[in-house]
């Protein structure tokens, strides 16, 4: 069994422990106290929009790869994935589960995995684009941000040097070109933009209820970069690097670092609240498949394997 997921979780726990040691536990508690009925409803509403848009994007990409994926099923699977991402180590196991589940239902495991990878890549590309726009048109970010992003880019570049990763990226690029059509590109772009806007809106809610009074124009660059930092594979359900970044960024811009930590904690909890509709989905799917063979979700017809196509990842 690989120790890497546990080492990443341990590193994230270490980051949180250092922050608690330097800033005390009050900032963590303040982030929890800031959440009330109004913020919970806001999180559920924003989560409904972002999850629906993300599921729509996934449907468009899956259909571009000739895989059947009804929108209703995609929304339910996406909620379940968000919940699993939030409560399990590494923060990506929910996406792995929905990729494998969809691949089995569609009769093409490799295609299901590639559809999810492309869907997540589209989301990250939209976030990078939003980040570039905000950073180029808004106030300059704090000085420590640049080296950190450069280091992350270097690590990503080194990963691409691994032959197995290069081959996987090449295959994904061939699939991605199928999506660059007039039929697929607009809905993917619109849904991605709406999703990024929703995440930023939820982050702003977390900042305001945590007592941050800085102008929105000053906060947006920090929040966009915090969302990018969350992509680092060292976290506990998103917690860890995000909190460290906002503490440093708030301090570098003259804001209270404790408020940065409280904002990040509040955002993490609100993100979990937004994923709570995944609980009944998880329970119903577990109950519906308890006595069945295979992984077909209840209410979703089992799709026959297309003629001439093997079940599993194509070579």
pLDDT tens digits for 17-76?
888 888 878 878 888 888 989 999 999 999 999 999 999 999 999 998 889 999 999 999
User: How long is the chain?
Assistant: 315
Q: Is the pLDDT confidence value at 142 over 60?
A: no
Confidence of residue 132 (pLDDT cuts 50, 70, 90): confident
Torsion of CA 174, 124, 129, 58, to 10 degrees: 70
- pLDDT mean over 246-269: 91
| Residue 301 neighbours by CB distance under 10 Å | 10
* pLDDT at res. 178: 67
Model pLDDT, residue 61: 92
Q: 69 near 78, Cβ under 8 Å?
A: no
Phi-psi region of 254 (alpha: psi -120 to 50; beta: other; left: phi over 0): left
Q: Report the predicted TM-score, pTM, of the whole model to 2 decimal places.
A: 0.78
Average pLDDT of the residues of the chain: 79
Q: Distances from the Cα of 27 to the Cαs of 31, 38, 67, 247, 265, in angstroms?
A: 6, 21, 46, 11, 8
Q: Is 217 exposed, middle or buried (0-12, 13-18, 19+ CB in 10 A)?
A: exposed
Q: Are 220 and 200 in contact (CB under 8 A)?
A: yes
State the Cα–Cα distance between residues 3 and 294, nearest whole angstrom: 29
Q: Which helix (H) or strand (E) holds 50?
A: helix 37-64
pLDDT of residue 141: 57
Q: What pLDDT does 294 receive?
A: 42
């Amino acid at each position: 069994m690989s120790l890497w997921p546990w080492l990443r979780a341990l590193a994230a726990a270490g980051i949180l422990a250092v922050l608690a040691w330097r800033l005390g536990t009050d900032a963590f508690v303040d982030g929890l106290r800031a959440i009330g009925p109004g913020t919970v409803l806001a999180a559920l509403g924003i989560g409904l929009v972002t999850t629906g848009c993300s599921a729509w994007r996934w449907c468009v990409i899956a259909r571009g790869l000739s895989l059947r994926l009804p929108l209703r099923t995609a929304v339910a699977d996406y909620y379940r994935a968000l919940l699993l991402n939030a409560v399990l180590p590494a923060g990506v196991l929910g996406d792995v589960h929905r990729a494998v589940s969809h691949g089995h239902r569609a009769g093409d495991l490799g295609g299901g995995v590639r559809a999810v990878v492309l869907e997540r890549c589209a989301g990250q590309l939209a976030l990078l684009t939003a980040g570039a726009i905000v950073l180029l048109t808004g106030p300059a970010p704090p000085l420590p941000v640049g080296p950190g992003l450069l280091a992350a880019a270097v690590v990503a570049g080194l990963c691409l040097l691994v032959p197995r990763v290069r081959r996987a990226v090449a295959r994904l690029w061939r699939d991605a070109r199928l999506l660059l059509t007039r039929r697929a590109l607009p809905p993917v772009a619109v849904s991605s933009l709406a999703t990024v806007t929703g995440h930023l809106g939820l982050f702003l809610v977390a900042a305001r209820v945590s007592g941050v009074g800085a102008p929105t124009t000053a906060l947006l660059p920090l929040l966009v970069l915090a969302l990018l930092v969350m992509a680092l594979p060292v976290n506990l359900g998103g917690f860890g690097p995000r909190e460290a970044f906002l503490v440093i960024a708030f301090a570098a811009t003259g804001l209270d670092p404790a408020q940065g930590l409280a904002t990040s904690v509040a955002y993490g909890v609100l993100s979990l609240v937004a994923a709570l509709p995944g609980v009944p989905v998880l329970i119903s799917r577990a109950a519906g498949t308890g006595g069945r063979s295979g992984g077909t979700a209840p209410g979703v017809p089992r799709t026959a394997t297309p003629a001439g196509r093997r079940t599993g990842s194509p070579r």
